[in-house]
Amino acid sequence: MLIRVQELSKSFRKLEVLKNVSVSFEANQCVAIIGPNGSGKTTFIKSVLGMVIPDSGEIIVSDKNIKNNFHYREAIGYMPQIGRYPENTTMGQLFSMIKDIRKHNGVSLDEELIESFHLPALYNKRMRTLSGGTRQKVSAALSFLFNPEILILDEPTAGLDPLSAEILKDKIQQERKKNKLILITSHIMNDLDELSSHVMYMLEGNLMFFKTMEELKAETGEERLGKAMAKLMKQQTN
């Protein structure tokens, strides 16, 4: 089990954002984390990354409790929704900086995305001169760079042009086959449909269900994830 979350709760002031969430993820899964805005998706991801400190509950990553620990993040590659980087640093310097601070002893670097996004041509450009899409490509390339066992991708395809989005999706699928765990949040159901093996649905801080794609589709009788989700939500409101 790569990630085990047990009875995770978190509230900001009076607002309960996560209510007793328990879930486990394993290798060779690609989990789509789905839920409306404010459902707790981001807080869940940030808890796993150690950016949000839970009120109660435990998070175990690769058999290590992440509380007061940061070494477990060696196993994680994270692609943020909005990537902003030091403005006057060039892209090349950014890559060497992250390589420099992330001890990647023995791990071979995965520079495939850097190549397929044609980033080396832009190595001399300062980060502030780059478009949002390009920065998104940088974020993606960085998250895959250290061959992590776990990839956490927050709205990976938003802001990417269709061609680059396809490159990224191919990469995601390819990595999954390498026995990795991939967590994705996205609003683009089609993308998730293509990529995911599992669906984790959150609503108002609760984990509503965690199922395989097949189970979900069988239960709802729908062929497409979007339709299946719509049907589920409709059932719940009724």
Does residue 83 contact residue 138 with C-beta atoms inside 8 Å?
A: yes
Is 107 an interacting residue with respect to another protein (CB under 8 A)? no
Which of 1, 24, 64, 97 touches another protein by CB under 8 A? 97
Q: Does 125 help bind another protein (rule: CB under 8 A)?
A: no
Classify residue 229 as exposed, middle or buried by CB count within 10 Å of its CB (0-12, 13-18, 19+): buried
| Residue whose tokens read 């640093």 | 89
d(Cα 59, Cα 61) in Å, to the nearest integer?
6
Binding segment (CB under 8 A) for another protein, from list 19-27, 72-80, 183-191, 192-200 = 72-80
Binding status of residue 132 toward another protein by CB under 8 A: no
> Quick one: CA dihedral 26, 32, 76, 7, positive or negative?
negative
CB of 103 to another protein, least distance (A): 7
Q: For residues 52-71, which are near another protein according to CB under 8 A?
A: 52-53, 70-71
Task: Identify the residue among 85, 95, 144, 210 touching another protein (CB under 8 A).
Answer: 85
Task: State the DSSP string of 15-68.
Answer: EEEEEEEEEEE-TTEEEEEE--TTSSHHHHHHHHHTSS--SEEEEEETTEE-TT
By C-beta, is 30 or 45 nearer to another protein?
A: 45
Interface with another protein (CB under 8 A), residue total 36
Shortest reach from residue 74's CB to another protein, in Å = 4
Residue of 125, 149, 143 whose CA lies nearest to 80:
143
Residues engaged in binding another protein (CB under 8 A) = 10, 12, 46, 49-53, 70-74, 76-78, 80, 82-89, 93, 97-98, 100-103, 126, 139, 142, 152
